[in-house]
Amino acid sequence: MRIVVLGAGFGGLEVSTRLSEELGDAANVVLIDRAESFVFGFSKLDVMFGRTTPKAVLHPYADVVKPGVQFVRTDVISIDPATRRVDTGAGPFDADVLVVALGADVHPAATPGLVEGGHEFYTVSGAFATRDILESFHGGRVIVGVTSTPFKCPPAPSETALLVHDHLTARGLRDRSEISLVMPLGAPIPPSPAASEALLATFAERGIGWFPNRLIRKLDSTRHVAVLTDGAELPYDLFLGVPVHRVPRVVAESGMCVDGWIPVDPLTLETAFPDVYAVGDVTSVGTPKAGVFAEGQAKVVADAILARHRDDADLATYDGYGVCYLEFGKDQVATVGVRFRSGEPPVGDLKGPSIRIADDKSEFGSSRIRRWFGKEWAEP
Ligand SMILES: Cc1cc2nc3c(=O)[nH]c(=O)nc-3n(C[C@H](O)[C@H](O)[C@H](O)COP(=O)(O)OP(=O)(O)OC[C@H]3O[C@@H](n4cnc5c(N)ncnc54)[C@H](O)[C@@H]3O)c2cc1C
């Protein structure tokens, strides 16, 4: 049984690792990604705020050496979910089971003025470039703004606003600066009232302006003004934006999407096409677009494939649970454990913030690198 896994992010790495751990050389997995290296989403913020170097957060796929897994670095050019044939820059691949884990692409150019007048920090190159922008910023009005929904890691804009506060404070620029956070949500983390309250209290304490239930419609780069969806205008000197998200074009063209994302069974991650699964940001499964959820979904898919190998009828189902780390600034991190079950309102708790949880977050990353790449993460 040949398993072809498209995308080596959180979802694709977890499916491949679990199959390799359980089946060894018999796993017969082809893992395809166009990127040279894997980067955690949270590492983008670490680089941007000068907490680490770009080199330290790039994990080359060349290091993925796993029994039964062949990593192919190439572009996925087309996907036929009916025949499970995939065309790539390295030729066609036919799958008995296909797992689509291609994530969400971001499109800064889809928001008028963002490319000319602002900076996005959601791509690897955008986040790394923003590090230099922040270093040469001499203070002024900063906006952290979201341009559309859905977007990856809903806590990330709140974390960014708090880290901008720390950055400007450390450089003696906070007194002559303003920070505003524009978010489409009514609360920073809607499923967790405790986390939302703690964040709102921290914004108030640190003088961060909170603009809920709105998006950034466009930037007027000549007047240095952000126009919000309610028509309000906010002047800025530095704009840090979360761009429009969409499925990768190859997924859009595959015929698998409904309303822009791949629908899946929320318990099994099966798509409408037999033996084709989809996990993570590329789906409309109903969980937030975050790595921890992609990973949880990947485990369920790997277990379904293992059950087939073993003629086992007992299938684990996806429980919609994930624990997200939440940077509060001042080296403090909290966790928010959230459960998203279809047909039920999501519920979330809050632990921390504390410095101890910051250490747990670091171990979260290291443990993934150990399992997925078989090496220690040598941070500088
Ligand atoms: C600033 C920021 C902070 C974040 N912080 C967190 C956090 O603290 N915790 C958390 O859980 N999540 C966080 N996230 C979100 C997290 O990074 C994503 O939700 C997660 O990576 C999704 O996993 P995935 O497997 O679905 O897709 P991805 O990890 O995006 O992987 C998709 C892969 O597909 C590849 N690909 C796409 N198209 C093609 C193609 N045509 N051909 C070949 N390869 C292709 C890409 O190169 C990529 O490697 C953060 C995101 C950002 C931007």
Q: Is the pLDDT of residue 27 over 60?
A: yes
Q: How confident is the model at residue 186, as a pLDDT?
A: 97
What is the residue type of 81?
A: P
Q: Which two tokens stand for residue 124?
A: 């690897």
Q: Is the CB of 152 under 6 A from ligand 1?
A: yes
Task: Please state, in angstroms and rounded to a whole number, the distance separating the CA atoms of residues 296 and 230.
Answer: 37
pLDDT digits (tens, 9 = 90+) for 252-302: 999 999 999 999 999 999 999 999 999 999 999 999 999 999 999 999 999
Q: Is the CB of 156 under 6 A from ligand 1?
A: yes
> Whose CA is closest to 81, among 216, 291, 270?
270
- Tell me how crowded residue 255 is: count the other CB atoms within 10 A of its CB: 12
pLDDT cut 90: percent of the chain above it: 95
Q: How confident is the model at residue 235, as a pLDDT?
A: 98
- 197 near 227, Cβ under 8 Å? no
Q: Is the CB of 243 under 6 A from ligand 1?
A: no
- Tell me how crowded residue 371 is: count the other CB atoms within 10 A of its CB: 15
Q: How confident is the model at residue 379, as a pLDDT?
A: 67
Counting beta carbons within 10 angstroms of the beta carbon of residue 154, is it exposed (0 to 12), middle (13 to 18) or buried (19 or more)? Answer: buried
Average pLDDT for residues 164-192, to the nearest whole number? 97
Residues ≥6 apart with Cβ < 8 Å to 201:
none
Cα 41 to averaged position of ligand 1 atoms, centre (Å): 7
Q: Is the pLDDT of residue 315 over 90?
A: no
Residue whose CA lies nearest to ligand 1 atom number 47? 35
Q: How confident is the model at residue 314, as a pLDDT?
A: 77
> Whose CA is closest to 286, among 303, 270, 263?
263
- 306 near 300, Cβ under 8 Å? no
Q: Is the pLDDT of residue 380 over 60?
A: no
pLDDT digits (tens, 9 = 90+) for 161-170: 999 999 999 9
Cα 232 to averaged position of ligand 1 atoms, centre (Å): 32
Q: Is the CB of 102 under 6 A from ligand 1?
A: yes
Ligand 1 atom with least separation from CA of 102? 34
Residue whose CA lies nearest to ligand 1 atom number 7? 42
What is the residue type of 359?
A: D
Q: Against a cut of 0.95, is the pTM above it?
A: yes
Q: Is the CB of 98 under 6 A from ligand 1?
A: no
Q: Which two tokens stand for residue 139?
A: 């203070």
Q: How confident is the model at residue 313, as a pLDDT?
A: 79
Q: Cα dist. 225→52, 118, 130, 133, 231 in Å?
A: 32, 10, 19, 18, 12
Residue whose CA lies nearest to ligand 1 atom number 21? 291
Q: Is the CB of 166 under 6 A from ligand 1?
A: no
Task: Please state, in angstroms and rounded to a whole number, the distance separating the CA atoms of residues 344 and 283.
Answer: 19
Q: Is the pLDDT of residue 378 over 80?
A: no
pLDDT digits (tens, 9 = 90+) for 135-158: 999 999 999 999 999 999 999 999
Give residue for tokens 């099994």.
268
Q: How confident is the model at residue 316, as a pLDDT?
A: 84
Residue whose CA lies nearest to ligand 1 atom number 41? 76
Ligand 1 atom with least separation from CA of 40? 17
Answer positive or negative: Cα dihedral of 91, 93, 94, 98. Answer: negative
pLDDT digits (tens, 9 = 90+) for 80-89: 999 999 999 9
- 326 near 163, Cβ under 8 Å? no
Q: Is the CB of 45 under 6 A from ligand 1?
A: yes
Q: Cα dist. 300→61, 200, 349 in Å?
A: 23, 35, 24
Average pLDDT for residues 217-233, to the nearest whole number? 97
Ligand 1 atom with least separation from CA of 14? 25
Average pLDDT for residues 242-253, to the nearest whole number? 98
> Whose CA is closest to 123, among 57, 41, 33, 10?
41
Residues ≥6 apart with Cβ < 8 Å to 103:
7, 9, 11, 248, 280, 281, 282, 294
Q: Is the CB of 7 under 6 A from ligand 1?
A: yes
Most informative mutation of 128, 164, 281 for ligand 1 (most atoms within 8 A of CB): 281
Query: Mean pLDDT score of the chain, rounded to an integer?
Result: 96
Q: How confident is the model at residue 307, as a pLDDT?
A: 95
Average pLDDT for residues 327-335, to the nearest whole number? 96
